[in-house]
Chains A and B, each alone.
Chain A
Amino acid sequence: EPEVTQTPSHQVTQMGQEVILRCVPISNHLYFYWYRQILGQKVEFLVSFYNNEISEKSEIFDDQFSVERPDGSNFTLKIRSTKLEDSAMYFCASSEEQGANGYTFGSGTRLTVV
């Protein structure tokens, strides 16, 4: 069964450093998403991406965050200057059609900011 692949599974970074989280969506999917889950809290929507542009973003997704689909296969989330409160599990998802019914999630990247 096709999978959404996220790398790395765990990343530790120093506060203030830039970090890039990588995702390889399912190949025929057109809609891409990032969610995050701070330990002990809810899974929260960050951003959705379609046709090479952001279609929707939450309040969390401020100027420190950006997304890119650089080469037609990868979908990346960049945090420019990480803060301690960015420590979380970050989940990528993709879907073939618009709508959450067809989401496939990756296994997540655990980001620890020290």
Chain B
Amino acid sequence: GEDVEQSLFLSVREGDSSVINCTYTDSSSTYLYWYKQEPGAGLQLLTYIFSNMDMKQDQRLTVLLNKKDKHLSLRIADTQTGDSAIYFCAESYLNSGYSTLTFGKGTMLLVSP
């Protein structure tokens, strides 16, 4: 079945790089997403990648996709205290018209000064 797993917690120092990891199970064509949730706020889409891509970069964010291992990562360069939040990995599938999302449990990123 479809499943998305991610580690629950990551702590880094300001200025370091953060790498948040995710594994997924569906092997068909799929979109993979990273969402950010700050306290009291909704789920904010950060970036997404289609499964025929290996990498996508957007300013401080780099997404790497290893299709063989079904592993997705989000790298945040020069992490700031404002990056402290919960980061969700999610996937959408061809059989739902890419309309519905399957989420992981979220990784809490804590950035200390």
Report whether B100 and A43 are in contact in the complex, using a CB–CB cutoff of 8 Å. no
- B48: A residues at CB distance < 8 A: 101
- A9: B residues at CB distance < 8 A: 40
**A106, CB-defined interface residue at 8 Å:** yes
**A114, CB-defined interface residue at 8 Å:** no
- A81: B residues at CB distance < 8 A: none
Q: Which of A44, A55, A91, A100 contacts B33 (CB 8 A)?
A: A100
Report whether B43 and A48 are in contact in the complex, using a CB–CB cutoff of 8 Å. no
Report whether B88 and A43 are in contact in the complex, using a CB–CB cutoff of 8 Å. yes
User: With A42-B103, A43-B88 as given contacts, are A100 and B98 in contact (CB-CB < 8 Å)?
Assistant: yes
Q: Which of B31, B90, B99 contacts A48 (CB 8 A)?
A: B99
User: With A99-B99, A100-B31 as given contacts, are A42 and B42 in contact (CB-CB < 8 Å)?
Assistant: no
- A48: B residues at CB distance < 8 A: 99-100
The residue on A at minimum CB distance from B93 is A100
The residue on B at minimum CB distance from A43 is B103
Q: How far is the CB of B21 from chain A (nearest CB, A)?
A: 16
Q: How far is the CB of B103 from chain A (nearest CB, A)?
A: 4
Extra 14 A-B pairs, beta carbons < 8 Å, given A35-B103, A100-B31, A101-B48: A35-B101, A42-B105, A43-B88, A43-B90, A44-B103, A45-B102, A56-B96, A93-B43, A98-B97, A99-B99, A105-B42, A105-B43, A107-B40, A108-B42
Name A's B-contacting residues (CB within 8 A). Answer: 4, 9, 31, 33, 35, 40-45, 48, 55-56, 91, 93, 98-101, 103, 105-108
**A-B residue pairs, 10 tightest by C-beta:** A43-B103, A105-B42, A105-B43, A100-B92, A107-B42, A45-B100, A99-B98, A42-B103, A42-B105, A100-B101
